[in-house]
Amino acid sequence: MKKAPATAPKSKPIEPRPVVVRTVPIELCQLVKFAGLSESGGQAKQLIAEGGVKLNGAVETQKGKKLAAGDLVQVGEERVVVTLA
């Protein structure tokens, strides 16, 4: 009798880290830099242009995309949520 293949345990999604901003809207490239998801503004723009940033679960390539409170931004495994001060 064959055993069923072992399945890897599903990892629990990492809770998004809140990033507090003073005003909304804030541009996506500004938030990526401000939240520390990139080392510089230029790197943030490049990440976005190359499709390395997700906004609310979908790839976003507009660096000037306006974000509102509650928007979820993901770069790699790191996730942040826009929070208004």
Structural domains of the chain in order of their starting residue, each with its CATH number: 17-84 (3.10.290.10)
**Whole-prediction pTM value?**
0.83
- pLDDT (tens digit per residue) in 3-62: 555 565 566 667 899 999 999 999 999 999 999 999 999 999 999 999 999 999 999 999
3-state secondary structure of 39: coil
Beta strands in 24-69 (DSSP E): 26-27, 53-55, 58-59, 66-67
